[in-house]
Each structure stands twice: as structure tokens, then as C-alpha cells.
Structure 1
Amino acid sequence: MSATFASPDSSAVPLYIIEQDVPDTIPDSARTWADAADFTGGAGATLAVPGPEGGIAMALVGAGSEASRKRSRFDVGSAARSLPAGTYAIQTDLSPARMQEAALGWLLASYDFDRYRKPAKPPAQLIAPASIDAARIEAIAAGEFLTRDLINTPASDMGPDELEQQARDLARQHGADITVTTGDDLLAANFPMIHTVGRASTRAPRLIDLRWGNTGPTLTLVGKGVCFDTGGLNIKPAGSMGLMKKDMGGAATTLGLAHMIMALGLNIRLRLLIPAVENSISGNAFRPQDILTSRKGLTVEINNTDAEGRLVLADALALASEESPDLIVSMATLTGAARVAVGPDLSPFFTDDDTHAEALTASARAVADPVWRLPFHDPYETMIEPGIADLDNAPSGGMAGATTAALFLRRFVDAPYIHFDIYGWNPSAKPARPKGGVGMGARALLDALPKLLNL
């Protein structure tokens, strides 16, 4: 598995990207072979064309029709897994955006989570097309691979301490500074809700704080790091607990995005905050009807211990706001309501800034990382006000669950703010995105940063 392109090689197999019909520019012998194989250029279809000596003379990969491309992405890149092993060089002229998608998709398709099994067969390698920024694509792919690895690793090997080590490794790689506040030290440092959610676990809760960069606008990323979520005393049923190793998908995605930013050397002062906990059950677990006092001083009535992600994020967001950064972005696998609203393929986000929303939407389209804006609907504020405390962590009624969670988080932020409520998981394999953990929204954010931060 590699997030890098192959070195230039004069013996590389020519690769032609075909849109529905094999063009006249392809040699007659290849056209004859394609006709015999009934190859029509359907999205993701591949064909190796033999040479006179029995080797591969060229390869064809289908891009599909314009209509089919609206229904899928990275189809060309999926050829990395379907063509024979070897090195390939694209010969077809494509628009910059489509060439970038093809090249990135090729790298993303080479991903294989093989920590617990024998690796899959090596993917075909691609020489970076001359028209793309190869270093940028490689940095993006490496960040995505990091995110996928973290989400795919089970909680037995990816608890708060292992997540901290991943952050430390990333800091060491890029020369960033990192501090971690752990266990009862969270109380002394005034992170009461992070401590409360994580105290029932045998693995201590913690707040990871990474800083990088000395110049430029300030960006603070906050990622939900619930390494496993039983639901606490409001325990989840088995069907809902099965995927809870992915409940740290927000932290995994922000770590991947942080790698992209640092690897590309962007002129940004970056801060990354990850509250890392397990929501477990023991004699000291927090209870329904408990009232917690947050770092910001707001009190929170607990009406469901399974709505814990917003609690740990709230303390981290309050800390982030104390420095008044130019932008705060939180990312979390926060609510099932978001998944029900838009499904597993879209990244829902919330912002009060129309300019930020437009920039994100345009970037998402440009880099094939779809997002969808959901509303900070102010009239729903009353739904998170229980009367006995300032805030309710789980309003009754089941209505607008994603919006009420986002409104809850907004109460702790005093800076320009974007919140992502992502799923972080592919239920079934798709081109360049195998079944399992996946980054969502990070590439759209990376592309939009120049507009979001006036770089």
C-alpha cells in the first residue's frame, strides 16, 4: 500500500481513458481487441491489450458517460485494483479537474487495511501525470490513508492512549508541538465534561493539543475522539454498538487533514484539539439526570448518556474559543440523524456564514468530496433548554437531532465556526473507497481554506 506515484519509467504501459466509445486514435489492433472483448468504455471497466510478444501493450479504462459520472466518482482510479500489476502512464488529455480526480482516485484505490491479515495483491502503479501537482495529491492520499487506518483499527488497539500516540507520531513527523492532559489532571485544568464522559473506562480520558506553524491566519480543528461508545448507562443495543470503533472518526479525519496541511506547508497557524475518551460502564459512570458544569460555565442536564460526543467536544470548543482563532472547525461522527438525512456518502455541515458555505460547496464539487449544508435553525434553540439547567444534551421527541446537536455545540463557540457531522464509514465498497473507514469533508475543507481564511 503506497500513497505515492511511481517514478517515471520509459517502459510504462500506455493507459487510455475511454468515454463510452473507443476513439479512432487507438491503434486498429487495439480497437479490434476491444471489440472482441465487448469493451465499450463503461465507468470503471478495464481492458489490458496484449502486444505481439504476449505482454501488455496498452490498457484501456472506461470513464463512462457524462451522466454516469454524475452518479459515481473515482471510476478511473479503480483501475489500480483491476489492471494487472505494473506501471502505467496516462496518455489521454483530460481537463485539470478530471486528471486530478483520476490520479487521486488511483492512489486512494491502492489502500489496503492489512494490519490483521495477509495483504491483497499489489495494486498497479501510476506515473504522475504532468498536469497535476503530484506532491499535493500524495499528501492528500497519505492523510486519507491515516484517517482510514485509525477508523478501521478496533478499539482494542485504538483506545485513547493509542490515539494519543498517533497524534504524537504526527507531531514528530512535522515538527509540531503537542501537549496532553490526562485523567484527573483534566479536572485541575478545567475540562470537567471530558473527564466525566471518560472516567468509567480503564483507559484514562485525555485532551490532545497539537500546534504547528508560526505565521498566517489561525485555524483550530476539533475532532471527536470517542474511541468506543457503549452508550454508557443508556447502553446501546448490539446492532447499534457494532460499529462504534468508528466513533472517533472525527478525530481520525482531523488528524488526516492536519497531515495534509502540514505536509503542504500551508501558511497557517494550526491547532488540533482531540478529546479522546471511551464511553464505558462502571460504578462511576455518569448517569441520566446528572447535571454537569462545563469549562465555559454552562450547566448541562444529562438526559441520555449516549449523547456523549457533544459533551467532550463542548469543553474542547470552549478552550478553542479562548484564543479567538480566525476559524474553528469541528468534525464528529455525532448523530444518526445526519446519516438518516443525507446517507453515508455526503458530509453534512453547519455554518452561519453564507460565504463559508458557498466556498465549501464549490470546493467539494471541484475535488469530488461531496458536502451538504444543514441549518443552524435558531427557533430550535428552545429544544436544548431544559429549564433545570442551561442546556439539555439529548432533547426528547426525536426531531431535528443533527440540528439540535449542532446548536448545542455552537453555544460553546465564540469565533467563526463550521461543524461537520459525518458518518466516517463506507457500508459497501465503491471506486477508490473500500468498505470500512473513510475520511469525509477533509479534502473539501483543504481546497476551501484559501477562501475560508483569506490566504
Structure 2
Amino acid sequence: MDLSHAYTDDARNARPLHVVERAHWERWLQTQTPSVRAWLESQHLTGGAGSLALLPGEDGLAGAVIGIGDPLDPHSYAHAPYGLPVGRWTLATELPEAARHALQLGWGLGAYRFDRYKTPPRAPAQLLLTEADAEADDLLTAAVRVRDWVNTPTEHMGPEQLEEAAREIAGIHGAQIEVIAGDELLLQNFPAIHAVGRASHRAPRLIVLRWGDAAHPHVALVGKGVCFDTGGLDIKPADGMRNMKKDMGGAAHALALAGLIMARALPVRLTLLIPAVENAIGPDAFRPGEVIDTRKGISVEIDNTDAEGRVVLCDALTYAAEQSPQLVLDFATLTGAARIALGPELPALFANDDALANDWIHAGQQSRDPLWRMPLWRPYLRYLTSHVADLANAGSRMGGAITAALYLERFLPADLPWAHLDVYAWNDSDRPGRPAGGEAMALRSAYAMLKARYAG
């Protein structure tokens, strides 16, 4: 979705918009005319977070006031674009630079509606930007890309279309792109990716994007690109399959983050890997009990075909490590267990490096884009024991998010800093700035962490 219509540089007829924290409400109220004070007091307004009131004037509407929570949280402002009447609005409150950044970003997040198939019933109010924050604009672009890609049904967002999206972003930023598809995956030793995707009429593939100066620190991003997940022969029930167009949410995060890194010209050398498949049911579907090869040489017994994400990721992570990066980040809509543990809004972070984990958590606190660290409790590897192969892809229901992360860890060198984000990538219901559907989670904090590490 193009959100340029949520902003304007045309000040004509722009109405003033006051932004007030609850703690400052009474002080602000005393600066208003007696008629405005009486109007607001008659509604028993207190400036609470998420509140909004239109202000009367002699000729009708004189302006508006919104109550906010944390001024550095973009979502504090996200109720304004559709709470206010259509038209131009100009900030009437002095805000520090960081709060103006949050306002611009939050306005766009609040203005977003997925409009590929359905026209929104109204346009958002427009925020007057005399000096737009370029970084906020790039962050919004990344978040909107994730939302649009995840919201798009698999009919229009299969492995081919995910490849097209990667090629488009590569073209914008002058990145190199390589795609290994179909049986070529076997020839180039990506057997696990091929095994998961071979049953679909859409060929599985590994999308590889490379960008940056060879002299810069090397960062590898990996994203789970399961464009639809039936569960395979261990088929999901209908309610579990309903939203599985979102199972490429990890790929959406990794690709959007790559685009953001390139747009902001972070001084890194970037490798992006997306194993893109559809976990379909067909005559050639991989089966429970099969033993499959992996690029790492670790044999894997398939305990459950619905634990397919880790199977495609293990080949991609092995290949990422072969490129000798300084660190690896992977994003995946991997387990329901992470949602049971932390709920839908808090991504689960696993890392083999305390400094990397702490940096990302700190960045999440600073950017108001949180995540929560979970343990790589290695004794739980016993739940992935196979009697016929080196490893099982699943097993006990105990600690499901942990065992999934432990499975991935087996395919990386112990001395390579790595972080894995088990992300929901979805809003179950509508809230200001968080419309129901696809969502970017811990994307801004990932960028903030990389920026702090590599761009000071």
C-alpha cells in the first residue's frame, strides 16, 4: 500500500492538532479559551492515551487534540489518522525530534489498510510534513511491505511472487540475486528445502540476495518462506490452516529488513537467504517416518510434516554459515508454542550469544518494538532423538519453541553469533496502528540493533 496520501506538504486550510500527554492535560487545558475548556470538561476528557476530541470554533471546527501515552512509541499517535476528519492537519504542539519521528511513523502505521482487493471506506486524515524524516519513511516502508506480503493470499504470493518481490528490491538497490529452483536444489545440495516443497505444483527455491562492500562486516539474514502450510500429510485442522498464507512471515521480515538496510546504506555486507516453498499435499509429499538428507550432512527423521519450517531453514542456515558472516539473524513463524508462552504480540528471541541478544533487547526497548528472550535449554535436545537418524524434526510437545530453536542451532557453528526470532507476524484483531492481518514485529528493533552495531 502506498501511504503517501497520509501526508501532505500543502499547508492550505490545515487545522491545528494538539498532542498532549495525560500528565500535562490540566496545564494544556488552562491555555485554551473558556469555551474550549467548557466543551472538553463537559465530555469529562482527561487526555488519556488513545483519546481524541474535536475543538469548536466560531466557524465550525477549529482543531483537535489527541491524548497520547509514551511519546516515543509510534503507536501512541496511531489513532489519529482515522479518528480525525478527512483533511489536512498540522502539529500545534512543540515536540522533540524523537517524538516527531515517532509521530510520523505512527501516523503511517495508523493510516495503513490493506487495499489490494477492497477499497477502504474512507481516506485517512493527512499530516502536514514540512520536513519529512527520511528514516521514519524508510521504517514505514519496511513495515508496510511486511504487512502487504503477509496479507496477500498464496494465489498471488507463492514462491514465484516472493522471488519477484526480492528481485524488485534487489533492482532498486543494485543488489545481486540468484535463485536455485526445482530439482536444481538437489544438484546444488539443498535436499531439505526440496523435500518440503517437492509436492507442490510451484517449484521450491532458495532465493539469495547479496549487497554491499566486501570490506564491511558481513551480516546474513534468513527468513522462512513457507508460502502456504497445509501441514503436509500431518494435515492441519481447518481453523489451524485458515491463516497459513502468513507462514512466509519470516521471509517477509527478512526481505523487508534487507530493503531497509540497503535504503539506509548501513555499512554492512549483506547476504539474504529465503527458502521459498509451499508445504502441499500430493503424491510426492514427504512423509512421516522418512529420513531426509540435509546440506550439513545431518540426517533428519520426519516425525511430523507440519514441523516443516525448521526443515527448510536448516539448509539455508548451513549455507549462511558457509559464507563466513559475522552474525546470522533468522526470522520464522515457527511455532504455536511461542504464542502460548508469550502471546501474539511478543516475539520469542533465541540466541547463542549474550551480547547479540542483549543488544537486540535493548534496541527493542529504545525503539518501542519489543521482544523477549527465551532459553536455548540444551537438555531438551533429548526430545529430538531419533532411533534411525541423527536428529528428529519434532517430538514431544514439551517446550516446543525451545526444541525448534535447538533444532536450528544444530546447523550452525557454535562460535558463530546467531539469533532466531519466532514471530507471529499477525494481528488477530483491529487496534489503532495494528489492523487485523499481517504485522511487522521486532523489525524496527532489528534495524536499530544493526544500526547501533555497525553505524554507531
Q: TM-score, normalised by structure 2?
A: 0.93
Unaligned stretches of 5+ residues in structure 1:
none
1:33 Cα deviation (Å)?
A: 2.7
Moved more, 258-267 or 284-293: 258-267
After TM superposition, list the pairs within 5 Å mapping 1:268-283 onto structure 2. 268-283=268-283
2:317: which partner in 1? 317
Instruction: Note the alpha carbon deviations across 1:91-122, whole angstroms, 9 max, x for none.
Output: 32345544433321111111110111123311
1:413 corresponds in structure 2 to 412
**In terms of mean alpha carbon deviation, does 210-219 or 411-420 score higher?**
210-219
Match of residue 446 from structure 2: 445
Q: Distance in 2 between matches of 1:442 and 1:216?
A: 22
RMSD: 2.0
Please state whether the residue corresponding to 1:156 is helix, strand or coil.
helix
More displaced 10-residue stretch of structure 1: 14-23 or 283-292: 14-23
Aligned: 1:57 with 2:57:
no
Please name the residue that 2:139 is paired with. Answer: 140
| SS in structure 2 at match of 1:74 | helix
Matched residue, 1:194:
193
Superposition deviation, residue 129 in structure 1: 7.8
Report the counterpart of residue 242 of structure 1 in structure 2.
242
**What letter matches 2:110 in structure 1?**
A
Once the two structures are TM-superposed, the CA of residue 377 in structure 1 deviates from its matched residue by 1.2
1:14 aligned residue: 16
* Partner in structure 1 of residue 86 of structure 2: 85
| More divergent stretch after superposition (315-324 vs 16-25) | 16-25
Maintained 8 Å contact 1:275/1:316 = yes
SS of 2:156 mapped into structure 1: coil
The CA deviation at 1:219 is: 1.1
**Residues of 1 paired with 2:408 and 2:398: CA distance?**
17
Equivalences for 1:333-348 in 2 at 5 Å? 333-348=333-348
1:380 shift after superposition: 1.7
Shift of 1:453: 4.5
Shift of 1:155: 0.9
Give yes or no for the alignment of 1:125 onto 2:126. yes
Q: Which residue of 1 aligns with 2:212?
A: 213
Unpaired runs of at least 5, structure 2:
none
2:295 aligns with: 295
- C-alpha displacement of 1:58: 1.9
**Following the alignment from structure 1 to structure 2, what is the Cα–Cα distance between the partners of residues 450 and 266?**
7
Q: Which residue of 2 aligns with 1:43?
A: 49
Helix, strand or coil: the match of 1:117? coil
Residue 233 (structure 1) aligned with residue 233 (structure 2): yes
Residues paired across the two proteins, number: 447
Q: Deviations over 1:381-409 (max 9, x none)?
A: 232232321111012x2101111110111
Residue 451 of structure 1: how far off its partner (Å): 4.1
Pairwise mapping of residues 378-417 of structure 1 onto structure 2 (< 5 A)?
A: 378-395=378-395, 397-414=396-413, 415-417=416-418
Structure-2 change in CA distance of 1:297 and 1:175 (3 Å): same
Q: CA deviation at 1:329?
A: 0.5
Q: Secondary structure at the match of 2:206?
A: strand
2:116 — aligned with what?
A: 115
CA distance in 1, matches of 2:365, 2:3: 23
Query: 1:265 Cα shift?
Result: 1.4
Deviation at 1:235, TM superposition (A): 0.6
Report deviation, 1:454.
Answer: 7.1
- SS of structure 2 residue aligned to 1:122: coil
SS at match of 2:90: strand
Deviation readout 1:42-95 (Å, 9 max, x if unpaired): 2212122233222x322100115x7xx99x971322201110112222232345
Deviates most, 262-271 or 419-428 = 262-271
1:263–1:8 Cα change, 3 Å? farther
Query: What's the counterpart of residue 223 of structure 1?
Result: 223
Preserved contact between residue 150 and residue 252 of structure 1 (Cα < 8 Å): yes
Identity, in percent, stands at: 47
Code of the residue aligned with 1:164 in structure 2: it is: E
Partner Cα distance (1:247, 1:3) in 2: 25
Normalising to structure 1: TM-score of the pair? 0.93
**1-side partners of 2:45 and 2:454: how far apart?**
47
Q: Structure 2 vs 1, CA of residues 211 and 382 (structure 1 numbering), >3 Å: closer, same or farther?
A: same
Counterpart Cα distance in 2 of 1:8 and 1:2 = 18
Question: Is the contact between residue 233 and residue 287 of structure 1 (CA under 8 Å) also seen in structure 2?
Answer: yes
User: 1:326 matched to which residue of 2?
Assistant: 326
Q: Match for residue 423 of structure 2? A: 422
- 1:34 is aligned to 40
Contact 1:77-1:103 within 8 A present in 2 as well = no
- Contact residue 2 and residue 110 of structure 1 kept, 8 A: no
Secondary structure of 1:202's aligned partner: coil
Matched residue SS, 2:75: coil
Aligned pairs for 1:352-391 (under 5 A) are 352-391=352-391
**Corresponding residue of 2:31:** 25
Bigger mean CA deviation after superposition, 154-163 or 382-391: 382-391
Deviation at 1:3, TM superposition (A): 3.8
Hey, what does 2:104 align to over in structure 1?
103
Tell me the CA shift for residue 218 of structure 1: 1.1
SS in 2 for 1:226: strand
Residue 10 of structure 1: CA displacement? Answer: 6.1
Question: 1:191 corresponds to which letter in structure 2?
Answer: F
